[in-house]
Amino acid sequence: MTQDQLKQAVAQAAVDFILPKLDEKSVVGVGTGSTANFFIDALAQHKTAFDGAVASSEATAQRLKGHGIPVYELNSVSELEFYVDGADESDAHLNLIKGGGAALTREKIVAAVAKTFICIADASKLVPVLGSFPLPVEVIPMARSHVARQLVKLGGDPVYREGVVTDNGNVILDVFNLQITNPVELEAQINAIVGVVTNGLFAARPADLLLLGTAEGVKSLKAE
């Protein structure tokens, strides 16, 4: 199976998982990226089974609307049962690195509100230790050099993601060469740097369920 077929399989598995729990009042939180796009396309086949969605990026909002799915502002939604999103890496505790698509801040906000965070990923994303994928950090533009110096002190090698402006008008530093053995601590340390909006570690609020696309089928993993 190709990586795209694995992504498609987990996207369909996520739809199959949430569909029986949705009703006409349900609003679904939707992530960003190629795996999330497969999820949106699969979810759209059942758009009469729920009310609408909250999007974690402008790109996701556009795709949802393209399918005729109503998109709500998070502030107007009182309850979000599910948030479904991809990841760049996951460990066995379902701590994640996210933000390859630069949508990490809105993704983290929607994940924080949702009761159940379902991560959908192909098997290549499951790793023993987080950090091979460079950790994205969203930064207020004027603080870029200051934040980069602080990230070096934490042992990383930050690289400015040229030409990328987030939906919030900020920039991204990708931090290379981190061996993330304590993701909860590192997430808090990086977020405490003045000028950081958020970082792509999802450890304070990890996923609740990982649907992993493998050659043997979709596996369901809960945090160890």
Binding site for ligand 5RP (CB under 6 A): 31-35, 85-88, 98-104, 107
Minimum distance from residue 129 beta carbon to ligand 5RP (Å): 18
Minimum distance from residue 48 beta carbon to ligand 5RP (Å): 26
Minimum distance from residue 36 beta carbon to ligand 5RP (Å): 6
Question: With contact defined as beta carbons under 8 Å apart, do 105 and 56 qualify?
Answer: no
- Tokens standing for residue 39: 């999820």
- Tokens standing for residue 102: 């630069």
**Residue with Cβ nearer ligand 5RP (102 or 210):** 102
- How far apart CA 4 and CA 121 sit, in angstroms, is 10
Question: With contact defined as beta carbons under 8 Å apart, do 80 and 27 qualify?
Answer: yes
Q: Which helix (H) or strand (E) holds 136?
A: strand 135-139
Minimum distance from residue 58 beta carbon to ligand 5RP (Å): 12
**Residue with Cβ nearer ligand 5RP (51 or 208):** 208
Q: Which of 79, 81, 107, 162 is labelled catalytic?
A: 107
**Residue with Cβ nearer ligand 5RP (26 or 166):** 166
Q: Is 107 a catalytic residue?
A: yes
Nearest in space to 80 (alpha carbons), one of 53, 58, 107: 53
**Residue with Cβ nearer ligand 5RP (145 or 168):** 168
At 175, is the secondary structure helix, strand, or coil?
strand
Close Cβ partners of 16 (under 8 Å, ≥ 6 residues apart): none
Residues designated as active site: 107
